[in-house]
């Protein structure tokens, strides 16, 4: 299976463009793939029959369906060069702007510069002299292509190469179809994550539930979680404190209708970006130094959840779920001490930010 | 393991200077001939464990932080557990939602839609404890129920009984059964809401388990009948539910004399006052209940009481979770033997209604009996299962002598009293229906669509309700089991976020 | 507060637990007493009717409980000692009476079986 697919990808990513020695034949090859754009075809002086063939596969009786990657867009530089050619009406192919020089294929330079042609490496000269349509590698598809070419001697060499590509694509598509038999229609799109019953809860909800779990009692934690979500759903919409806005939240009146989003915005709003790590051996002398370290999304959320749970302990309500739900609403309204914690953490991290460079410096010295 | 050097060479090494050697070694060297004393001396200094003293390391106990919060007040936790919230101000209001009324309840075009419960009726429904805490009322703007096929059937029956047609004064007896979360209790609630609309008298037993778990007071009926028991507190609670929920009672006057109550009941006393006598003094609550029951079944007034006599409305009697009544209770009799639930007069009274009445029907002014089983909180009683099967067989016209008539397992213990309770032998009175078994199952797809659209309109469900999607959820909910549909409908997702 | 047999019980206490505070009334006897006077097992002291209190008191006063029972037990032990039985000797020596092992686990016997037996 892998070799077949390799063949496919080798064709899909235009071989010819990445090649260091593009010959005239390969150049035309690339443009055949782009043949749906007539201006590109004409500038390269392609024969009309070929163009027609690639444009309307149905009209010439071939009836070959187009493969998914049969006509990819050309490389950026190539396209820019072509556009500039059209726009500037300079038929000698000189680039209108210096940036375009970067991406100009060697073949074009060679074509317009006879001197350079003479001094070109021997390999390139050989390739330029070689009859077009031949390739430096051979595959089984090639042989089939050659057979077909023999059957149709009147086709030009360009036509032959185009047919070769088409043939390869057709073959690979067939092989891909063989790999997934029995599918009359394309396979359905991938299901959303929550459709899997093991991951039925949203990421944040899941993390929150697992964090408030004690002694491995998951169902109790889930019960508390569902109470919290129901409370968020039924409590009056939060009065947002203008100094402590929730990050990326819809208007406050819409929050209760989507309690999971409500919970997510609350947690993401008070999640710290950094934490301080005590690190020894940066400045020497065995003194440990605080270094701010960035947190991943999950770590940030975990810190926020822990803070919220901690802050909820101070509440007077009799039940844990009540305390937690009320604390979450307090966070949304900007009344909670969790906000101060976040600001404090950020302030500390900012004050010791010079240690970051010290740390990286150590690393460099050691490395 | 042969060492690479020779021991002889080692012995010939010059001895180390004394000062270099550790002092303990020197001590031994002094008494080189007898080592035991030196060893003992060394041991004395070290802190050896005393005889039989534990040597294991003891961990210091962590000091627990002092308990800051007080334990919740008595009854607070139960109140929280039983709290019923009927409205969520955040949910969207559905503008064209219809209410239960005389017209809408029998309208078959409304099948599959959600009918709201009228706001004034909510107090009555709360009084008879029609709502249960975990039915998800709290997420909608206002409580509503789906109109399903069985709802329309009940509605037609109730309409017929209170109408003027030939069905007037009929008695319908049904046992509502079905799998878990198929909407049995809500079915009772729908019947109650319709009965309140038609101004019936509604008498309910929302929690049958309370009567048999030995949590309320009990006493033998009298010295003559020491083997049947009354439950004064439970009866008083029933009376209080009935009085709060049925304002009709204040319009009706007593129609005969009543003995057994502490004071004589004068003519012109309303039934509400009669019931309140029982609520005030639980000792006579059972007599008061019997008096009230007799008054509600009265068809005419006794001489001397004709003034202000009004015909009695039909009655709806509902009991939820009858399985608890089909076994021995937790109460003990004098000989410390468990009392069978059927020996409790309260239970016996409601079960006796299932049988055909003697002379006249069990509800003389017509009405309906709806007794529901429970699938989540119910004891396993094999005899009850057989009894229900027998009810279904009789309903299907199978004679008890026929071979396919279900019988209890011969090798299992059978409770004959349970079988008898559902055995409606004898001819029913003219307008009295026989006992039927109604099994609730899932909603149809159309009804499920209406129900899920209710979620979508309330802003709880953010999905494109295509036929395909609804079919998928209908299957996921075990073929439209409404409780499962509810869980799917409120399942939280943030696809939009 | 309700007096039963001279003891004052707060109203919020369970009747069953309150009865079991008497020496000589355990689970069996309390269950029987409750069944005899039709008191449900979750009944609190405050919910008892006056008649039930009197009935329970009368029933308790007929039973051999508290000091009467203690005296009886002590008398039995004394008799064993005086007649010089093996069991009496074991009681006096502070050893297990009913054939238990003495190598370990004789704490209860050591604690209880004395010359002056406590109850």
Write out pLDDT tens, residues A18-42: 444 444 444 444 444 444 444 433 3
Rounded CA gap, B371 and B322, in Å?
Answer: 7
Are A261 and B494 within 8 A, CB to CB?
Answer: yes
The residue count for chain C = 119
Point out the residue among B80, B462, B493 whose CB comes nearest to the CB of A194.
B493
Cβ contact, residue pair A259, B88, below 8 Å: no
Q: At B129, is the pLDDT very low, low, confident or very high (cuts 50, 70, 90)? A: very high
Name the residue among A194, A237, A261 with its Cβ closest to that of B90.
A237
Do residue A316 and residue B462 have CB atoms under 8 angstroms apart? no
Q: Residue B334 is nearest to which of C31, C35, C47, comparing CB atoms?
A: C35
How does pLDDT run across B183-217, given as a tens digit for each residue? 999 999 999 999 999 999 999 999 999 999 999 99
Confirm or reject contact between B133 and chain A (CB < 8 A): no
SS3 B224: coil
Does the distance separating the beta carbons of C32 and B336 come in below 8 Å?
Answer: yes
**CA–CA gap between residue B351 and residue B275 (Å, rounded):** 21
The answer to whether C31 faces chain B, any CB pair under 8 Å, is yes
Q: Which domains does chain C have, with CATH numbers?
A: 2-63 (1.10.8.50), 67-112 (4.10.910.10)
CATH for A197-366, options being 2.30.110.10, 3.40.47.10, 1.10.455.10, 1.10.10.10: 1.10.455.10
Residue B271 or B35, more confident: B271
**B26 interfaces chain C, CB cutoff of 8 Å:** no
Q: Which of B493, B482, B454 is nearest to B141 (CA)?
A: B454
C43 closest CB neighbour out of B217, B220, B334: B217
Chain B nearest-CA residue for C30: B336
Cα B473 to Cα B72, B136, B465, B480, distances in angstroms: 41, 18, 10, 8
Query: Using CA atoms, how far apart are residues B248 and B331, in angstroms rounded to an integer?
Result: 36
pTM of the model: 0.72
In chain B, DSSP finds a helix count (H) and a strand count (E) of 16, 11
- pLDDT over 70 at A62, yes or no: no
Do chains C and A touch, with touching meaning 3 or more CB–CB pairs less than 8 Å apart? Answer: no
Enumerate the H helices of C43-85 as residue ranges: 50-62, 66-82
Residue pair B113/B450 in contact (Cβ under 8 Å)? The answer is yes
Mutation site, C14, C27, C31, C40, interface B, largest B CB count within 10 A: C40
The pLDDT tens digits of the residues spanning B276-307 come to 999 999 999 999 999 999 999 998 888 888 88
| The pLDDT value given to residue B125 | 95
The closest of B255, B161, B254 to B200, measured between CA atoms, is B161
Picking from B80, B491, B494, the nearest residue to A264 by CB comes out as: B494
How do beta strands A288-294 and A274-280 pair? Answer: antiparallel
Average pLDDT of the segment spanning B466-483? 93
Shortest Cα–Cα distance, C47 to chain B (Å)? 9
Beta pairing partners, B439: B177
Q: B361 versus B98: which is more confidently predicted?
A: B98
Whether residue A44 is predicted with pLDDT greater than 50 in this model: the reply is no
- CB-CB under 8 Å, B92 with A260: no
Min mean pLDDT across B64-78, B162-176, C63-77 is at B64-78
**SS3 assignment, position A247:** coil
Q: Is B214 on the interface with C (CB under 8 A)?
A: yes
What does the pLDDT average to over B166-172? 88
Q: Is the pLDDT confidence value at B246 over 60?
A: yes
Pairing of strands B171-178, B367-372: parallel
What's the rounded Cα separation, in Å, for the pair B345 and B222? 12
A233-280 pLDDT, tens per residue? Answer: 999 999 999 999 998 888 998 899 889 999 999 999 999 999 999 888
Nearest residue of A to residue B455, measured between CA atoms? A257
Check residue C63 and report its DSSP letter: S
Say how many C-beta atoms besides its own lie within 10 A of residue B496's C-beta: 9
Mean pLDDT, consecutive 10-residue segments, chain C of 119 residues?
85 93 94 94 92 92 90 92 92 90 89 81
Write down which chains contact chain A via at least 3 CB pairs under 8 A: B
Q: What residues in C contact B229, CB-CB < 8 Å?
A: 38
Name residues whose C-beta falls within 8 Å of residue B359's C-beta, 6 or more positions apart in sequence: B429
The complex scores an ipTM of: 0.85
* Cross-strand bridge partners of residue C2: C9
How far apart are alpha carbons C40 and B217 in whole angstroms? 6
Overall average pLDDT of the A44-67 stretch: 45
Contacts of B71 in chain A (CB under 8 A): 318
pLDDT number for residue A88: 62
Torsion of CA A233, A234, A236, A242, to 10 degrees: -20
Report pLDDT for C59.
Answer: 93
pLDDT at A90 (0 to 100): 47
| Cβ-Cβ contacts under 8 Å, B91 against chain A | 257
pLDDT for residue A358: 62
Euclidean distance between CA atoms B193 and A113, whole angstroms: 96
B77 interfaces chain A, CB cutoff of 8 Å = yes
Banded model confidence at residue A61, pLDDT cuts 50, 70, 90: very low
- Bridge partners of residue C44, in order along the sequence: C14
Distances (CA, A) of B161 to A353, B168, B352: 83, 4, 21
Which of C36, C38, C49 is most worth mutating to test chain B (most B CB atoms within 10 A of its CB)?
C38
Residues 269-328 of B with CB under 8 A from A: none
Distance between B72 CA and the closest CA of chain A, angstroms: 6
Q: Span A111-130, mean pLDDT?
A: 74
Interchain contact, B331 vs C40, CB within 8 Å:
yes
Greater pLDDT, B242 or B59: B242
Residues with Cβ within 8 Å of B438's Cβ and at least 6 positions away in sequence, in order, are: B150, B174, B175, B176, B177
Task: Report how many Cβ contacts below 8 Å link chain A to chain B.
Answer: 54
> How does DSSP assign B296-355, residue by residue?
HT-SSPPTT--TT--PPPPEEEEEE-GGGGGSEEEEE-TTS-EEEGGGBHHHHHHHHTTS
Interface check C10 vs B, CB under 8 A: no
Between A165 and B36, residue with greater pLDDT: A165
CB A255 within 8 A of CB B494: no
C35–B214 CB contact, under 8 Å:
no
Cβ of B217 within 8 Å of Cβ of C47? The answer is: yes
In this model, does residue A351 exceed pLDDT 80?
yes
Q: Is A198 exposed, middle or buried (0-12, 13-18, 19+ CB in 10 A)?
A: exposed
Distances (CA, A) of A76 to A73, A82, A84: 8, 10, 12
pLDDT tens digits, one per residue of B330-361: 999 999 999 999 999 999 999 999 988 777 88
Alpha-carbon gap, residue A334 to B256, rounded angstroms:
68
Hey, how many other C-beta atoms are within 10 angstroms of the C-beta on C83? 9
Domain boundaries, chain A: 2-179, 197-366
Cα(A236)–Cα(A255) distance, integer angstroms: 10
User: Which chain C residue shows the shortest CA-CA distance from B219?
Assistant: C38
**Does residue A110 contact residue A121 with C-beta atoms inside 8 Å?**
no
Q: What is the pLDDT of residue B371?
A: 96
Q: What is the pLDDT of residues A315-346, one digit of tens each?
A: 888 889 999 999 999 999 999 999 999 999 99
Cα Rg of chain B, angstroms: 37
């Amino acid at each position: 299976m892998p070799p077949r697919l390799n063949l496919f990808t080798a064709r899909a990513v235009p071989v010819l463009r990445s090649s260091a020695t593009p010959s005239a034949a390969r150049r035309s090859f690339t443009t055949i793939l782009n043949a749906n754009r007539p201006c590109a075809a004409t500038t390269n002086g392609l024969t009309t029959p070929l163009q027609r063939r690639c444009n309307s596969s149905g009209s010439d009786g071939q009836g070959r369906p187009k493969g998914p990657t049969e006509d990819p867009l050309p490389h950026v530089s190539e396209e820019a060069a072509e556009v500039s050619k059209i726009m500037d009406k300079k038929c000698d192919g000189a680039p209108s702007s210096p940036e375009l020089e970067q991406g100009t294929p060697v073949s074009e330079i060679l074509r317009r510069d006879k001197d350079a042609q003479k001094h070109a490496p021997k390999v390139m000269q050989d390739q330029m002299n070689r009859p077009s349509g031949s390739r430096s590698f051979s595959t089984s598809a090639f042989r089939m292509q050659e057979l077909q070419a023999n059957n149709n001697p009147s086709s030009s060499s360009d036509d032959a190469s185009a047919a070769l590509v088409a043939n390869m694509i057709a073959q690979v598509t067939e092989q891909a179809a063989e790999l997934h038999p029995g599918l009359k229609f394309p396979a359905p799109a991938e299901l959303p994550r929550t459709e899997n019953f093991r991951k039925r809860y949203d990421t944040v909800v899941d993390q929150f539930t697992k964090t408030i779990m004690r002694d491995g009692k998951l169902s109790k934690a889930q019960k508390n979680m569902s109470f919290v979500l129901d409370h968020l759903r039924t409590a009056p919409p939060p009065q947002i404190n203008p100094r402590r806005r929730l990050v990326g939240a819809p208007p406050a009146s819409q929050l209760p209708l989507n309690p999971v989003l409500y919970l997510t915005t609350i947690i993401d709003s008070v999640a710290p970006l950094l934490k301080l790590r005590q690190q020894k051996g940066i400045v020497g002398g065995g003194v440990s130094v605080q270094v701010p370290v960035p947190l991943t999304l999950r770590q940030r959320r975990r810190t926020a959840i822990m803070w919220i749970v901690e802050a909820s302990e101070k509440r007077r309500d009799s039940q844990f779920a009540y305390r937690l739900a009320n604390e979450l609403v307090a966070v949304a309204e900007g009344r909670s001490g969790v906000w101060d914690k976040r600001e404090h953490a950020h302030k500390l991290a900012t004050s010791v930010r010079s240690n970051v460079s010290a740390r990286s410096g150590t690393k460099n010295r050691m490395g | 393991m042969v060492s690479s050097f020779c021991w002889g060479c080692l012995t010939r090494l010059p001895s180390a200077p004394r000062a270099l050697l550790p002092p303990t070694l020197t001590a031994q060297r002094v008494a080189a001939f007898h080592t035991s004393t030196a060893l003992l001396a060394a041991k004395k200094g070290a802190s050896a464990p005393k005889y039989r003293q534990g040597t294991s390391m003891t961990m210091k106990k962590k000091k627990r932080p002092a308990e800051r919060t007080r334990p919740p007040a008595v009854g607070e936790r139960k109140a929280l557990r039983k709290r019923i919230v009927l409205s969520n101000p955040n949910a969207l209001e559905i503008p064209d939602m219809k209410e239960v009324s005389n017209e809408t309840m029998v309208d078959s075009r409304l099948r599959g839609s959600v009918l709201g419960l009228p706001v004034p009726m909510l107090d009555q429904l709360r009084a008879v404890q029609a709502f249960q805490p975990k039915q998800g009322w709290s997420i909608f703007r206002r409580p509503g129920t789906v109109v399903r096929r069985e709802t329309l059937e009940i509605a037609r029956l109730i309409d017929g009984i209170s109408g003027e047609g030939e069905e007037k004064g009929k008695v319908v007896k049904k046992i509502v059964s079905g799998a878990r979360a198929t909407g049995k209790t809500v079915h009772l609630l729908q019947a109650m809401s319709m009965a309140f609309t038609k101004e019936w008298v509604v008498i309910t037993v929302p929690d049958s388990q309370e009567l048999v778990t030995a949590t309320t007071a009990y006493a033998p009926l009298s010295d003559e009948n020491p083997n049947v028991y009354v439950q004064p507190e439970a009866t008083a609670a029933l009376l209080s539910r009935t009085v709060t929920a049925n304002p009709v009672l204040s319009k009706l006057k007593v129609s005969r004399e009543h003995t057994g109550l502490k004071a004589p009941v004068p003519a012109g006393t309303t039934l509400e006052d009669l019931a309140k006598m029982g609520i005030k003094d639980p000792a006579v609550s059972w007599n008061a209940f019997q008096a009230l029951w007799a008054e509600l079944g009265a068809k005419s007034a006794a001489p001397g009481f004709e003034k202000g006599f009004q015909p009695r409305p039909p009655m709806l009697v509902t009991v939820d979770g009858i399985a608890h009544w089909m076994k021995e209770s937790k109460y003990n009799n004098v000989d410390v033997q468990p009392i069978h639930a059927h020996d409790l007069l309260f239970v016996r009274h409601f079960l006796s209604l299932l049988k055909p009445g003697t002379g006249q029907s069990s509800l003389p002014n017509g009405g309906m009996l709806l007794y529901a089983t429970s699938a989540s909180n119910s004891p396993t009683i094999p005899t009850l299962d057989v009894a229900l099967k027998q009810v279904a067989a009789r309903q299907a016209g199978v004679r008890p002598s026929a071979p396919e008539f279900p019988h209890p397992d011969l090798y299992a213990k059978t409770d004959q009293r349970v079988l008898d309770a559902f055995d409606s032998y004898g001819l029913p009175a003219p307008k009295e229906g026989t006992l039927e078994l109604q099994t609730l199952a899932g909603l149809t797809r159309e009804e499920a669509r209406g129900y899920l659209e209710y979620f979508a309109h309330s802003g709880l469900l953010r999905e494109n309700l295509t036929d395909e999607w609804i079919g998928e959820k209908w299957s996921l909910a075990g073929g439209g089991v409404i409780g499962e549909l509810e869980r799917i409908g409120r399942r939280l997702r943030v696809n939009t976020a | 507060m309700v007096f039963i047999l001279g003891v004052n019980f707060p109203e919020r206490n369970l009747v069953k637990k309150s009865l079991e505070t008497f020496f000589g009334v355990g689970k069996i006897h309390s269950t029987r007493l409750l069944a005899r006077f039709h008191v449900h097992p979750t009944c609190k002291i405050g919910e008892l009717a006056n008649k039930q209190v009197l009935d329970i008191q009368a029933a308790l006063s007929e039973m051999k409980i508290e000091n009467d029972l203690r005296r009886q037990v002590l008398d039995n032990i004394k008799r064993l000692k005086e007649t010089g039985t093996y069991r009496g000797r074991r009681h006096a020596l502070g050893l297990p009476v009913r054939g238990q092992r003495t190598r370990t686990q004789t704490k209860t016997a050591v604690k209880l079986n004395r010359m002056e037996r406590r109850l």
